[in-house]
Structure 1
Amino acid sequence: MNSNHSTHTNTFNDPRLEVHMSWWGMNGLERSAEYSLEQKIEMIAEAGFDGINGFIPSPKDAERWSKLLERYRLSLSVNAYPKTCNDMAILLKQAKQYGAIQHINVQVMTPFLIDNGAIELLRGIHELSEKAGIPAYIETHRGTITQDLLRTVSYVEALEQLRLTIDMSHYVVAGEMHTISNEAEALMQKLLERTSAIHARVSNGEQVQVDVGPSGEHPMLQHFERWWSSGMKHWRKVARNGDVLPFIVELGPPPYAITVDDYGQRRQEISDRWEQSLLFLRTARRIWSETARV
């Protein structure tokens, strides 16, 4: 096992950071395209990740996944795409049947539902999560119930219990935020107070996912690091013993990843997504250490 796992200074019961690698983000990597399921999981573990963010394994694959995750000492978080409370109830039942789900990241697929209807749906999803005993966090994501920054702020103001998966790349690209105004920053900070998980991807205001450079030279990274740091600080204020803050490195394959032939087969990416993923892994651990000293 990679030494990164043994360098944590906190005890198991202390609030802690877990950095997960997106299983979606493993698609199409040159180094892993021909790899087996176990080889990909081993690659994630050896890189120093704490877990995988993916989907609930199917019944026929559940035992295999459980054994591999245990062998490589990795946790599992999953994604859900409900449109209704009934959809979420079914997903939660499946999660309980599988067991050992660290949290559920929820993209609520009702982008045109607003105001009281949206608030009631979000309230219902939260209540189902509480009843099932499985944490579920609503992701800030385009094309979902949290389609835009303003309406998501209104949900936070209406629902004291609403907890979020923070992914600011969606609001940066949707708002074409080449620069971050004071007004935008204030709205972002309102959402960061509800941080329960973080998805790592950087937008430049034109593309949703850009290469930040081998050492993070891209000027937009400073804004995302500020938001990740702020989210961690807010989370630490309310965290209890045993709580986990998941930080998911989520760099997607094409068409999220920019390619040299966007009109064609879109196979040759301009970025090394795996190396960028490792940069975000290191960045998450650094910021977590910095927030511990505040």
Structure 2
Amino acid sequence: MSGFFNDGSADAPKLRVYLNLDTLLDLRADSLWSHADRLDPQARDALLARDGFEGVQRTDDGPAQPQTCLPHCGASRIDQPAQADAIVARHVARGDRCLTLHAGTGLEDDAQASRLVEALLTAADKHRFAVFLETHRATITQDLWRTVQLVRRFPELRLNGDFSHYYCGQEMTYGDWPAKLAFMEPIFARTGFLHGRIASPGCMQVPITAELARRPPQAHGQCDFLAHFCALWSHAIRGFVQHAGAGDVLVFAPELLSGAYYYARCWPDTQGRLVEESDRYAQALIYKDLIRALFAQVQQDTARPAA
């Protein structure tokens, strides 16, 4: 099984940490990332590379930016099967390395959902391009059960795992957590892209601290949602490593959205103005280090001989 993003090398499967550029929108005035709106793409990418990011995910449909110095991938959506080929072709022509897609509205019946997946797969195969269907609310992958049925019907399908939509939207902690992880194994086996966002059972996007992220999962205390996301991401990494081939790349892209989209929580400051509770760019830096530690741990565990 492959179908993942492949860099054409003979290297062992690897992790690459990108940044979804929507993370840089509407940041707090005291953000570690300052004056983002004044930077040209080349200057922006140079600063991101300095901070340890290896690529970016563009969320616009604009043309190529020849002055950029980091590889980039794309993001889009399809609502009708007939849209898939043109959208994939546009991202191939732009020079994107791969593409994540929202598909449908979540109101489709099984036949309609299948036609969307078939169109996505046909376009990906025609253009020889890695396309990842995103797990997201209000799309055909909005719940665990339906997504698992889709990948059983279409085992060649590859996914962008944004597990915050399941963790919060389906309140995964309400019930048997180990059973839900086991049910998700067909999803983990097909995840070649991860949108980095941590949710709590009641909020789609919550901050963590660097100190807490460095602790082993069993020491997260009351921050059990962090331990749960370490488990979700580790399962996805393990699924990728087990099914990937030479040159395959798992992309992890923090996608931390502003309060304008009701993701980041906002609180009144001393003047009564609503301010986001955390610096989303600082959070992305924490995520970057966390996912690399998890990937290294999974590699170590899978290389260890069975007892």
> Does the C-alpha gap of structure 1 residues 27 and 266 become closer, same or farther in structure 2, counting only changes over 3 Å?
farther
Report matched runs for 1:40-189 at 5 Å.
40-55=44-59, 58-59=62-63, 62=64, 65-69=65-69, 74-99=70-95, 101-178=96-173, 181=176, 182-189=178-185
Distance 2:273 2:174 in 1: 29
- Look up the match of 2:226: 221
Q: For residues 204 and 13 of structure 1, do their structure 2 counterparts lie closer, same or farther at Cα, with a shift above 3 Å needed?
A: same
Normalising by structure 2, we get a TM-score of 0.83
Q: CA deviation at 1:14?
A: 2.8
1:260 aligns to 2:267 (yes or no): yes
1:230 maps to what in 2? 235
Shift in Å at residue 235 of structure 1? Answer: 0.9
**Counterpart residue identity of residue 57, structure 2:** N
CA RMSD of aligned residues (A): 2.2
- Superposition deviation, residue 94 in structure 1: 1.2
Q: In structure 1, what residue type is equivalent to 2:125?
A: E
**1:48-76, Cα deviation, whole Å (9 max, x unpaired):** 011001136623xx2xx22222xxxx210
Per-residue deviation, 1:261: 4.3
Say which of 272, 283, 295 aligns to 1:276.
Answer: 283
Residue 209 in 1 paired to residue 205 in 2?
A: yes
Aligned-partner Cα distance in 1 for 2:147–2:61: 31
Contact kept? 2:167, 2:201, Cα under 8 Å? yes
For residues 90-149 of structure 1, what are the alpha-carbon distances to aligned partners after superposition, in whole Å with 9 as ceiling and x for unaligned? 1122123222x1110011133111312212220221111111111101111001111111
In structure 2, the partner of 1:23 is: 21
How far apart are the structure 2 equivalents of 1:241 and 1:25?
31
Cα deviation for residue 34 of structure 1 reads 4.4
Distance 2:179 2:247 in 1: 35
Shift of 1:231: 1.0
Q: For structure 2, list consecutive stretches of 5 or more residues without a partner in the other structure.
A: 1-8, 214-219, 302-307
- Change beyond 3 A, Cα 1:189–1:267: farther
Overall identity of the aligned pairs, in % = 27
Shift of 1:88: 1.6
Higher RCO (C-alpha under 8 Å, 6+ residues apart): 2
The Cα shift of 1:199 comes to: 1.2
Q: Tell me the residue number matched to 1:5.
A: none
Counterpart code for 1:189? E
Alignment deviations for residues 209-260 of structure 1 (CA, whole Å, 9 cap, x no partner): 0012232353211111111111111111221221111111111111211110
CA distance in 1, matches of 2:293, 2:226: 14
Residue 79 of structure 1: CA displacement? 0.4
1:211 to 1:266, Cα distance in 2 relative to 1, 3 A: farther
* Mean Cα deviation higher: 134-143 or 118-127: 118-127
For 1:37, the equivalent position in structure 2 comes to 40
For residues 20 and 135 of structure 2, the distance between their equivalents in structure 1, rounded to whole angstroms, comes to 17
Q: Which consecutive residues of structure 1, in runs of 5 or more, have no partner in the other structure?
A: 1-10
TM-score normalised per structure 1: 0.86
Query: How far apart in 2 are the matches of 1:277 and 1:117?
Result: 36
State the 1:187 CA deviation: 2.3
- Deviation, 1:194, is 1.3
State the distance in 2 between where 1:41 and 1:156 align. 35
Residue 20 of structure 2 contacts residue 59 of structure 2 at CA under 8 Å; is this kept in 1?
no
Alpha-carbon distance in structure 2 between the residues aligned to 1:112 and 1:33: 37
Partner of 1:8: none
Return the alpha-carbon distance in structure 2 between the equivalents of residues 35 and 200 of structure 1.
25
